[in-house]
Every structure is written in C-alpha cells, then in structure tokens.
Amino acid sequence: MALSMDYGLVQDQRMKLVMTPELRQAIQVLQLSTVDLIQYIQDQAIENPVLEIEDPARMAEADPVESASVDQLADWGAFMRKGGTFSGASFTHDEEEGNPVDRIADSALSLSEVLEEQLRYFSIDSRIYQICRYIIGNLDEDGYLRFNGEQLCKRFNIPESDFSRSLQVVQGLDPAGVGARDLSECLILQLRRQGDLSPLLCHIVSDHLQDLAEGKLKRVAQTLNCTPLEVQEAADRIRKLNPKPGLACHGESPRYIFPDVTVRKMQGEWEVWVNEGYMPRLGISTQYERMLRENNESAHQAAAYIRERIQSAMWLLKSIEQRRNTLYRVSQVIMEVQQDFFEYGVSCLKPLTLREVAEELELHESTVSRATQHKYIQTPRGLFPFRFFFPSGVSNQSGGNTSARSVKNRIQQLIQGEDKGKPLSDQVIADRLREAGIRISRRTVAKYREEMGIISSQARRRFDL
C-alpha cells in the first residue's frame, strides 16, 4: 500500500509550563540571599520610576500605613488607595543604631600596596627600587614569587647581583616569608626572622617536609641522626609558621552575611522569624496615580506606560511576599524536624532531604532548593547555612538513620579524648562507633576524618608524652 501525504488542520491539546516574566522574576527573587535581594531591589527602583524606596527615618515620623495583603496586590487601584506603601518587614530599624552597613570600615590594602608602602622607607637607588617594584607586582596572592630570575635578568639586561639584592630587599618586608620561591624558602625566611633557625630545623624544612606532613618522624630522626622527640619539637615550631603569608594582606571586599531566618525559644516554644528588618521599605509613587486621573493629552499618552510600570512593581512586591512566605514555611519544617539539634547540639542532628520538605509543604523540590540556596539561619547555637540542616544519613542498629554530621562529631570527640602517645586508628574508631550502634566502615571513617581536616593516626602521634 502506497503512502500518501496531504495537508490538513488538526487540533492538538497539550499542557506545558509557560515561563512568564512574572514567574521568572518570582524564581529569581526566591533564590536571592538577603544581601543580594537588597541590591536587586535597589536596581529595580532605578529602572522603574513608579517604585520608590522609602526612607526609614521619614516613615517613622509619618503615620503608620496598613500594609497591603497579597490579595490586594492584584488590584493596584485598591493598593494605591491604601496609601501606596508596602513593608515586607515585621519590625523597623532602631534610629539610634542605624544601618550596620554604614559602620563597615574600608577594605584592607592589597599585598602589593602594603609592600610598596614599606619600600618607600628604604634608602636604595632607583634601579634597585624599580626591580623591587617589579618583583612585588609579580607576587601571587599567597606571597610567592613564581617566575625565573634568570629570565628577568635577560629580559631587562640587568646583572644577577642586582636581582639578588632586590629580592633580598623584598624578602625583608612584612609579612615575613613574602618573596619566597617555594614553601621551604618561605618557612626558612620566617624562622630566620624569629632568630630560631637551628641546623636541625634548616635540614627538616629543606629536605623532609613531606615526611613531616605524613607523620614519619622516626624516619626523619634516623636520617638526621637525632631523637624522635627533637623532630617532634621541630615539627611543633614549623606548624606555627604561615605557609601563605600573602593572605594576611588582601584587597578583596569581605562578604557580610545577614541571617535570612532566626530561630529562637520564646516561653518554652521554638519560633521562626523571617529577618526583614534591614530590607528596603518599598512604595509606589502617588504622583503616577494622579497622572492617570488627569484628563489632559500628556496623561493619556503616558497612561499605558504608567500601567505597565505599576504592574511590574506589583509583580516585584508579590514576589518578595511569596519569598518571605516560602522561607517561613521551609524554616518551620526544619525547626520541627531538627528541634533536638536546637536543644542538645550537633550530635542530635537528624538526616533530612529536600524531597521530604517538598512533600511536607506540597511544593516542588526545585522550589525548596532555591529557597535554601545561599541563605542562613541564626540559631542560639550559631549561624548556619540552610543546607547544614540537610545532612546525609548513616544507618544504625535500630533500623533508623543517624546524620553524617553527628557521626563526624562523635569521631571528633573520640580523637580529642584519645591517648596522644597511642592515637586511635580509623579501624578502632569504626569499631567503637559500631559498639555505640552506628554501622560504619573504616573507609567512611577515613573519609569523614579527612573532610574535617584531621590528620591520620600516624601523624597525630606524639613522642613528648
């Protein structure tokens, strides 16, 4: 039978998600942290002339205006009649305290700026001064000099003696250790500055740093014909040095964290607050409402633009309110599941997944993921990122799960209480955890130990006990 092709009209009904500008903005606002949201609101206020950021001091002097509800935001006319103001904050600033951002000091000077400032006080000729500046400009962020000195001498046609003298000047600047070409030289510069560079220390730093890091103190002692105790004392001095001296001076602006949610215990009950005290108080200009009511020609020409800008402002206000509501609901579930953590600490942290929270709130898992991204919770036990409360689990003998963080806490407690002369191996730690009802392998213990930055049992052994 031959196939035939023909034209025709066919109705096909399909369901698909359309990413409207309103939905796209709501998703973007939801995943922003408090600091990023403040910046986003300020950018939107610049782009949208209808949207205004109210001065907290002026609003404190003015009569309080009832905040618009989410339902009222759908009707911008009703919203305007209520005064055109919106406050996502549950409390206002303290006028005497002001905004804490205003009290933040300027960022620190960069490493090159600190070194060049010291270099100006040296009595050296202009040639050496320029070579020193070139060396300073080529230091990496750790304070190391990574290029070859011979290539520098050939490129600028300078004798090696001038380069050596210039490098010596740079290595004499603070912080101690800058200008070094490798880790051994960096440590030797610091020991020499402290006046503590013995022949034993010099040999260990120059030739045996790898063995020292692996805890092979007996091998180092046999090679250098000394006792393990002497190597142990040398290792203690070396560990007090800074392997990256350049990081002491940086020019990057620090990133300050504002907690998005606070969990407190009030009158015996744990409660959740969404922190919006430092959020800008938004309002819609009443000037544009008056322009819409005017009957002149200019008002009619601008009416479509004004309505579009007001609608855009409504979307932003609803997105902020929806973000606040989602954060509160997610935080409420976390607080209920992890209540034992708030009461007793990390050892009582329970395994939790984004899917479980999404099913509890009847939300999509991606929505919960965006709501917990780059956000922090202030608790009586400290400031934690949201993802801290979603630990993986390790099975126990009772058939349940124990969070990986609580297992790490138990491992850390066992290591802190061990005999430093005979530290616990990973297998012994695994056996003790199994005795406590936690099923865990030696490899998992080693993995958790490395994640916590704890060295092996061989490297933890002390010879001075």
Q: Is 234 exposed, middle or buried (0-12, 13-18, 19+ CB in 10 A)?
A: buried
Q: Are 264 and 271 in contact (CB under 8 A)?
A: yes
**Lowest mean per-residue pLDDT among 1-5, 140-144, 254-258, 316-320:** 1-5
Q: Is 11 exposed, middle or buried (0-12, 13-18, 19+ CB in 10 A)?
A: exposed
Phi, psi (deg, nearest 5) at residue 125: -75, 165
Distance CA 193, CA 171 (A): 10
Name the β-bridge partners of 396. 438
Specify the higher pLDDT residue, 223 or 254.
Answer: 223
Name the strand (E) or helix (H) holding 378: strand 376-379
Residue appearing with tokens 């290591």: 415
Would you say residue 64 has pLDDT above 60? no
DSSP letters, 358-376, are HHHHT--HHHHHHHTTT-E
User: How many residues are given for the chain?
Assistant: 465
Distances (CA, A) of 257 to 7, 88, 100, 253: 62, 19, 12, 13
Phi, psi (deg, nearest 5) at residue 166: -65, -40
Can you tell me whether residue 351 is helix, strand or coil?
coil
236's CB contacts (< 8 A; 6+ apart) are none
Read off the tokens for 351.
Answer: 């395994």
**What pLDDT was estimated at residue 198?**
86
Distance CA 201, CA 239 (A): 12
**Among candidate residues 42, 21, 49, the one with its CA nearest the CA of residue 291:** 49
Radius of gyration of the chain (CA): 32
Distance CA 37, CA 19 (A): 21
Would you say residue 101 has pLDDT above 90? no
Read off the tokens for 370.
Answer: 């965006």
Distance CA 452, CA 465 (A): 25
The order of strands in the sheet holding 51-54 is: 51-54, 281-284, 85-86
Would you say residue 460 has pLDDT above 50? yes
**What pLDDT was estimated at residue 328?**
93
Distance separating the N- and C-terminal Cα atoms of the chain:
95
Q: What is the signed CA dihedral for 184, 188, 191, 197, rounded to 10 degrees?
A: 110
**Lowest mean per-residue pLDDT among 59-63, 202-206, 229-233:** 59-63
Would you say residue 38 has pLDDT above 60? yes
**What pLDDT was estimated at residue 376?**
92
Distance CA 331, CA 147 (A): 51
Distance CA 433, CA 428 (A): 9
**What pLDDT was estimated at residue 1?**
52
Would you say residue 329 has pLDDT above 90? yes
In eight-state DSSP terms, residue 102 is G
Would you say residue 430 has pLDDT above 80? yes
**Lowest mean per-residue pLDDT among 28-37, 163-172, 245-254, 365-374:** 245-254
CB atoms within 10 A of CB 393: 16
Specify the higher pLDDT residue, 302 or 419.
Answer: 419
Q: Are 350 and 338 in contact (CB under 8 A)?
A: yes
Would you say residue 243 has pLDDT above 50? yes
Can you tell me whether residue 456 is helix, strand or coil?
coil
Strand ranges for 16-127 from DSSP E: 51-54, 85-86
Residue appearing with tokens 């990023």: 36
Average pLDDT of the residues in 134-156:
85
Question: Phi-psi category of 35—alpha, beta or left, where left has phi over 0 and alpha has psi -120 to 50?
Answer: alpha
Name the strand (E) or helix (H) holding 263: strand 261-266
**What pLDDT was estimated at residue 104?**
44
Specify the higher pLDDT residue, 403 or 382.
Answer: 382
Beta pairing, strands 85-86 & 281-284: antiparallel
Phi, psi (deg, nearest 5) at residue 15: -115, 125
Name the β-bridge partners of 384. 377
Average pLDDT of the residues in 1-30:
77
Distance CA 66, CA 411 (A): 54
pLDDT tier at 400, thresholds 50, 70, 90: low
Share of the chain above pLDDT 70, in %: 82
